[in-house]
Amino acid sequence: MSKNKTLLANLQQRFGDKLSKTIDALGEITVEINAADIIEVCIALRDEFQFSMLIDLCGVDYSQYGESNWQPEASSTGFSRALNSTLMQAKTDNSQRFAVVYHLLSTANNQRLRLRAWMNESPPRMATVNPIWNSANWYEREAFDLFGILFNDHPDLRRILTDYGFNGHPFCKDFPLTGDVQMRYDAQQGRVVYEPNEVEQRVQIPRVIR
Amino acid sequence: MSEIRNYTLNFGPQHPAAHGVLRLILEMDGEVIERADPHIGLLHRATEKLAEHKTFNQALPYMDRLDYVSMMCNEHAYVMAIEKMLGIQVPIRAQYIRVLFDEITRILNHLMWIGTHGLDVGAMTLFLYAFREREDLMDCYEAVSGARMHAAYYRVGGVYRDLPDSMPHYKPSQWHNAQQVKENNANRQGSLLDFIDDFCRRFPTYVDEYETLLTDNRIWKQRLVGIGVVSPERAQQLGFTGPMLRGSGIAWDLRKKQPYEVYADMDFDIPIGKNGDSYDRYLVRMAEMRESCKIMKQCVDWLKVNNGAVMVDDLKVAPPKRQAVKEDMEALIHHFKLFTEGYCVPESEFYAAVEHPKGEFGIYLVSDGANKPYRLKIRAPGFAHLAAMDEMTRGHMLSDVVTVIGTQDIVFGEIDR
């Protein structure tokens, strides 16, 4: 993949210290930047590196990255028994918790690039790339809806996937899989009512890292 | 003279032309759309979050339920991502089977699209024809996987099992006598490959039939030509992929540009449009069905003469043979661990994209080394297309909204996820 190496070298030459980390793995290039540089870097990527398409944009919550429900006893080669089961706790401090991941595509050069921008604020804030690639509009709404990432200057930052009047940001790692509320039709009131969830959250298959 | 006011129209979510659960808020000036605001999420099931709480294999059947008219292509992107992260090389026969079923899926999807698109615009007959052919292809799905739609046939490391030697037959019933059944079973006497071979021979004439009904049809052209025009530059800006991008004249197809499996060995063409309107996208998809048929034929010819494994020989990801589980302790342990704990994927991230019938379907997978995905993001082509609904319908009439929904090939399973 010399094409990737060339791109990586060009990116490093163009952006220098703005790239806090570069990864070249599995035939894909990932570059990491700080949230403050996002607009400048994206405009350059579009205009100078011909990344004409924003294929995907998503939020990632890294607060439980590398955690598992129980620690395996022995090596990575054999199987071992579960010793302790622990419920995972989300990190409380928000530094380096949320990132926005951009997947760019250049149809002219037939090349892809992954861009990861970290946020340190609480709530997480990021500048919108909607003016640079118009496809970002709904992707950013989705990231806001699911992770609570606020996109500054976004033209229409509303919830998109969750219910009208939904509370919380469901894809954060500290949001329970079963949700907070359940709904049913109440015959007396003649409408659908929301009630606190009675479903107990349990771990069916423990998460384990070998 | 009466005063004409702007008003807001609520279209859907229970409207037959909304293709599922699309709710559109249309701001109209008379009959002209001034602004379209799609409300989505009525079919949101949080597939990505559910997958984070399941092992890699357990989350596979969710993929069928994303775009529920092109099931196997969804699975394909998912297994490709995991295989790449595990560093697995899929056996060549399994690659051919995957390509074969990807193309069957593409025809399935396009038949569904032309049927419903035609129905929305007013061509009733086509719907019945398209579903007649879909029945044959769903029988192929059923023959390999046992399920007509939600197949879960592609597995990490290959496919679930090899192609069967026989096709299921129709049986006489109170509605079909022995003579009719015999006629219906005429092309089902051989193996599945013989049946697909026969289908590939028949199918181009079927596409001719559809084209006779539509391509030069005056009403069809009046409803489609010049509706929802997207320029090549705008199409890229809006993140269009697949036939939506090719309809605007950009020859971009992942099967050619970034070939996966054995697409590099296949001989086929990429049809592109010229004007970027709904009619061109119609022509592109019709031509794509013919190209898919060509690819299927090539796969069938290869598969008929080449045998081999369809699953990797690695008990950490592929289940052992049933007989081995009964006789061999080691196999039993592997079987138990694989179906309870699953396998751990090394810490890495990967974005796998396939040329799905609707566009680029991508799976962005982040693993922290555990037996479950840390984050799974599904890049659904329809999401970007529907986001452009406002731009594509602005200034058009209300009836053209239905055409644009049809031409975008909307399926809510993938958009809402």
Kind plus residue range of the DSSP H or E element containing B183: helix B178-184
User: Cβ contact (<8 Å) for A160 and B41?
Assistant: yes
Best mutation target among B246, B272, B371 (most A Cβ atoms within 10 Å) is B371
* b/e map B136-160, b = 16+ CB within 10 Å: bbbbbbebbbeeeebbbbbbbbbbb
Q: What is the DSSP letter of B13?
A: S
Query: What pTM did the predictor assign?
Result: 0.90
Q: Which residue of A has its CA nearest to B374?
A: A65
The B residues from 346 to 365 touching A (CB cutoff 8 Å) are 347-351, 353, 360, 362, 364
Between CA A114 and CA A101 the distance in angstroms is 7
- Across the strands, what pairs with B154? B159
Assess contact for B59 and B373: CB atoms under 8 A: yes
Beta-carbon-side half-sphere exposure of residue B15 (alpha carbons within 13 Å): 15
Between CA A19 and CA A14 the distance in angstroms is 10
Between CA B282 and CA B183 the distance in angstroms is 34
Q: What is the DSSP letter of B320?
A: P
Q: Is the pLDDT of residue A83 over 60?
A: no
Of the given ranges (A13-22, A48-57, B186-195, B348-357), which has the lowest mean pLDDT? A13-22
- pLDDT for res B1: 57
Strands A150-152 and A125-127 turn out to be parallel
The one-letter amino acid at B329: M
Ramachandran assignment for B30, one of left (phi > 0), alpha (psi -120 to 50 degrees), beta (any other)? left
The maximal CA–CA distance of chain B, rounded, in angstroms, is 90
Ramachandran assignment for B228, one of left (phi > 0), alpha (psi -120 to 50 degrees), beta (any other)? left
Query: By three-state DSSP, how is residue B7 classified?
Result: strand
Place of tokens 């709480």: B53
Helix count (H) and strand count (E) of chain B?
A: 18, 8
Q: Which residue of A has its CA nearest to B353?
A: A55
- pLDDT for res A88: 61
Long-range contacts of A91-94 (CB under 8 A, 24+ apart): A91/A63, A91/A64, A94/A120, A94/A121, A94/A122, A94/A124
Dihedral sign, Cα of residue B81, residue B85, residue B86, residue B90: positive
User: Cβ contact (<8 Å) for A65 and B368?
Assistant: yes
Between CA B24 and CA B184 the distance in angstroms is 43
Residues of B in contact with A160 (CB under 8 A): 40-41
* % of chain A exceeding 70 in pLDDT: 87
Assess contact for B382 and A58: CB atoms under 8 A: no
User: Cβ contact (<8 Å) for B362 and A103?
Assistant: yes
Long-range contacts of B123-128 (CB under 8 A, 24+ apart): B123/B213, B123/B214, B123/B217, B123/B219, B123/B220, B125/B213, B126/B210, B126/B213, B126/B214
Between CA A161 and CA A149 the distance in angstroms is 14
- Render each residue's pLDDT in chain B as its tens digit; 417 residues: 566 678 888 887 888 777 888 899 999 888 889 899 999 988 999 999 999 989 999 999 999 999 899 999 999 999 999 999 999 999 999 999 999 999 999 999 999 999 999 988 888 888 999 999 999 999 999 999 989 889 899 999 999 989 999 888 888 889 988 899 998 888 888 899 999 999 999 999 999 999 998 898 899 999 999 898 999 999 999 999 999 999 999 999 999 999 998 999 999 999 999 999 999 999 999 999 999 999 999 999 999 998 888 999 888 899 998 999 999 999 999 999 899 888 989 999 999 999 999 999 999 999 988 889 999 999 999 999 999 999 999 889 988 999 999 999 888 889 988
Between CA B274 and CA B316 the distance in angstroms is 50
Q: Could you please report the per-residue DSSP string of B345-384?
A: PPSEEEEEEEEETTEEEEEEEEE-SBSS-SEEEEE-HHHH
- pLDDT for res B18: 78
CA dist B205 to A140, B268, B286, B290, B363, Å? 45, 18, 12, 10, 36
- pLDDT for res B230: 92
User: Cβ contact (<8 Å) for B384 and A114?
Assistant: no
Q: How confident is the model at residue A92 (pLDDT cuts 50, 70, 90)?
A: low
Q: How confident is the model at residue A67 (pLDDT cuts 50, 70, 90)?
A: confident
Q: How confident is the model at residue A176 (pLDDT cuts 50, 70, 90)?
A: confident
Burial grade of B356 (CB within 10 A; 0-12, 13-18, 19 or more): buried
- pLDDT for res A90: 54
Q: Which of B58, B257, B344 sits opposite A209 (nearest CB)?
A: B344
Between CA B329 and CA B318 the distance in angstroms is 16
Q: Does B333 touch chain A (CB under 8 A)?
A: yes
Token readout for A118 is: 């970290």
CA dist B299 to A146, B207, B305, Å? 42, 20, 10
The mean of the pLDDT values for chain A is 84
| Closest to B42 (Cα-Cα) out of B62, B69, B66, B23 | B23
Q: Which of A25, A58, A107 sits opposite B377 (nearest CB)?
A: A58
User: Cβ contact (<8 Å) for B236 and A28?
Assistant: no
SS (H, E, C) chain A: CHHHHHHHHHHHHHHHHHCCEEEEECCEEEEEEEHHHHHHHHHHHHHCCCCCEEEEEEEEECCCCCCCCCCECCCCCCCCCECCCCCCCCCCCCCCCEEEEEEEEECCCCEEEEEEEEECCCCCEEECCCCCCCCHHHHHHHHHHHHCCEEECCCCCCCCCCCCCCCCCCCCCCCCCCCCEEEEEECCCCEEEEEECCCCCCCCCCCCEC
Q: Does B158 touch chain A (CB under 8 A)?
A: no
User: Cβ contact (<8 Å) for B370 and A209?
Assistant: yes
| Closest to B382 (Cα-Cα) out of B357, B345, B408, B356 | B408
Q: For chain B, how big is the Rg over CA atoms in Å?
A: 23
Residues of B in contact with A107 (CB under 8 A): 236, 250, 252
* b/e map A73-105, b = 16+ CB within 10 Å: eeeeeeeeeeeeeeeeeebeeeeebbbbbbbbb
ipTM rounded to 2 decimals = 0.87
Token readout for B170 is: 């129709």
Q: Which residue of B has its CA nearest to A162?
A: B41
Q: Is the pLDDT of residue A79 over 60?
A: no
